[in-house]
Amino acid sequence: MNIDTMRTIDRWGGIPLTFVLTLLVRLCERLRPPRQERPQRILFIELSEMGSTILVNPALEKARDRFKAELFFVIFAKNRASLDLLRTIPEANIFTIREENLLTLATDTLRFLLWTRRKGIDTVVDLELFSRFTALLSGACGAGNRVGFYSFHNEGLYRGDLLSHKVAYNPHIHIAKNFIALINALLAEPGEVPHSKSLISDGEIRLPQVNPGPDELEAIRALIRARYPDYTPEQHRLVLINPNASELLPQRRWMPERYQQLVEHILEQYQDVLVLLTGAGSEAAEAAAMSTRVGSRRCLNFAGATSLGQLPALYTLASLMVTNDSGPGHFSAITPLATLVLFGPETPALYGSLGNSTPIFAGLACSPCVSAANHRKTPCSDNRCLQAITVDQVFQLVRERLSPAGSLARG
């Protein structure tokens, strides 16, 4: 299903279903009051954003370490591989939901409700901001502790009253700190309203670093040599260009012609650089077309060349990445890779990478235009927030990161 169909179902089906489920949960809890015990088996729900599986990792580790709890996760099947980058969640504790059509969605939802009971889930943490579908999963999974973001007196985005721990979403702090606030709600004294009345430091949202082994690094080198036989790590630096963004928000894409100009500038200025155009396998044709337009052997179509699990090795070998605001900007945060991330309809203040990253953000009066309040759906069809970012502006930042080490740089 495409994203607009899912939004429509979430709205028109989610509102009445969450209302009915709220009544049923209240009735059941009146007949049999739930026990809110110390969390031991904690389920996290985050379905739609691959990058969020990186941003939530500090919250996962805090929950595991503070409660000595076993962690579980539910995610859309197409995003499952993103959990393998840090492996904080055991593979056996991950449940996937297919969203190709209503039948698979309904079937997997029923399977999920049986799975949570078999696993003895006592605590559920809903990481989605205001999704009604995840509210239904939380309310029906059988957990006594149900933590999530709650609107309180904010209008709109009704999704029932199914939470035992209601956290005030804060649109003025980074989303990773909002995720930590969900865990802090479980640590708070009973009766706190709203959760979480706690200070969250920058030190709490640090990410672990992944160190690929020699075999993993050599596998990436072999993939590069298959496309450029003369590649040697001692003579060439790698610059990754990720010109795509997910279909969830296509307005995040910087214009392809500007990426092409940027690649041409890099190749002209740095004779020791190989540019790898990265992306998913479905984006390989687009990357091939750009490579052809650039017309240089040192511009390689690398879209679909690696699995998601191989990205840390690729990022470890690379010198720099330029990307739209999308998953790779977050995946690179678990490596030392310097990354330039172009922001438009989102803001880096809330969704910036937690790694060695520099955001590029024009800061127009209309931007950011997506938020929890509009289900990340914008009426904009003319992303001037990204058009305002020039090739020269980005290239200057590229030069600052490549030139100090550029013994073969010209000019």
177 and 78 assigned to the same domain: yes
Residue pair 62/342 in contact (Cβ under 8 Å)? The answer is no
Identity (one letter) of the amino acid at 42?
I
Average of per-residue pLDDT across 184-188: 95
Same domain, 348 and 380: yes
Phi/psi at 319 (nearest 5 deg)? -95, -30
What confidence score (pLDDT) does residue 349 get? 93
218 pLDDT more than 60: yes
Give the pLDDT of residue 410. 34
From CA 75, how far away is CA 141, in angstroms rounded?
A: 15
User: pLDDT > 90: what percent of the chain?
Assistant: 78
Q: What is the mean pLDDT of residues 282-295?
A: 94
Examine the domain organization and report whether 262 and 339 are in the same domain. yes
**Integer CA distances (angstroms), 168 to 38, 46, 149, 156, 179, in order:** 22, 18, 6, 15, 11
Verify that 114 and 232 share a domain, yes or no. Answer: no
Query: Does 109 reside within a domain?
Result: yes
Domain containing 109: what range?
3-29+36-205
SS3 call for 68: coil
Q: pLDDT grade, residue 14 (50/70/90)?
A: confident
Q: Do 277 and 231 fall into the same domain?
A: yes
Mean pLDDT over the full length of the chain: 92
pLDDT of residue 55: 96
For the sheet containing 357-361, what is the strand order?
299-301, 273-277, 237-242, 320-324, 338-343, 357-361
* Mean pLDDT calculated for residue range 153-167: 87
Name the residue among 333, 329, 337, 307 with its Cα closest to residue 84: 307
In total, how many domains does the chain have? 2
Tokens at 45, concatenated: 């729900």
Residue 36 — very low, low, confident or very high, per pLDDT cuts 50/70/90?
low
Q: How many CB atoms lie within 10 A of CB 410?
A: 9
Assign 408 a pLDDT band (cuts: 50, 70, 90): very low
What span, in angstroms and rounded, lies between the C-alpha atoms of 275 and 48?
A: 30
d(CA 113, CA 94): 14
Domain boundary among 187, 205, 223: 205
> Which residue, of 205, 232, 266, is where some domain finishes?
205
CATH number at residue 40: 3.40.50.2000
Measuring CA to CA, which residue among 183, 185, 35, 41 is closest to residue 116? 41
**CA atoms of 121 and 71, how far apart (whole Å):** 9
Q: Which of 175, 205, 235 is the last residue of a domain?
A: 205
* pLDDT for the residue 134: 95
Domain identity same for 235 and 362: yes
Which residues, including other chains, have CB under 8 Å from residue 30's CB and lie 6 or more apart?
none
CB atoms within 10 A of CB 189: 6
Non-local (6+) Cβ contacts of 308 within 8 A are: 81, 82, 84, 85, 331
**pLDDT at 407 exceeding the cut of 60:** no
- Nearest of 246, 248, 244 to residue 3 by alpha carbon: 248
Residue 247 pLDDT level (bands cut at 50, 70, 90): low
Q: Reduce the DSSP state of residue 72 to 3 states and report it.
A: strand
Whether residue 404 is predicted with pLDDT greater than 80 in this model: the reply is: no
Range with the poorest average pLDDT among 8-17, 71-80, 327-336: 8-17
- Is residue 411 domain-resident? no
Q: Indicate if the pLDDT at residue 405 is higher than 60.
A: no
H/E segment holding residue 341: strand 338-343
Say whether both 227 and 131 belong to one domain. Answer: no
In a domain, 410, yes or no: no
Question: Is residue 113 a part of any domain in this protein?
Answer: yes
161 and 253 housed in the same domain: no
The pLDDT assigned to 66 comes to: 96
Query: What does the alpha-carbon distance between residue 301 and residue 285 come to, in Å, rounded to a whole number?
Result: 9
Quick check: is 296 in a domain? Answer: yes
Q: Same structural domain for residues 385 and 265? A: yes
The one-letter amino acid code at 259 reads Y
3-class secondary structure, 127: coil
d(CA 104, CA 315): 35
- Which pLDDT band, with edges at 50, 70 and 90, does 411 fall under? very low
What's the pLDDT score for residue 406? 43
Rounded CA gap, 76 and 234, in Å? 41
pLDDT of residue 265: 97
What is the structure's pLDDT at 248?
A: 66
Give the pLDDT confidence score for residue 15 in this predicted structure: 87
Average pLDDT estimate for 29-33: 80
Residue 253 and residue 344 in one domain = yes
Indicate if the alpha-carbon torsion angle 230, 232, 235, 240 is positive or negative: positive
Q: Kindly tell me the number of DSSP H helices and DSSP E strands found in the chain.
A: 15, 12
Mean pLDDT, range 197-203, rounded to an integer:
95
Instruction: Please check whether residue 200 lies inside any domain of the structure.
Output: yes
Query: How many angstroms separate the first and last alpha carbons of the chain?
Result: 50
- When comparing pLDDT for 100 and 59, which is higher? 59
Residues 201, 168 within the same domain? yes
197 with 232, same domain: the answer is no
Instruction: Reply yes or no on whether the pLDDT at 409 is more than 50.
Output: no
Is residue 148, in this structure, part of any structural domain at all? yes
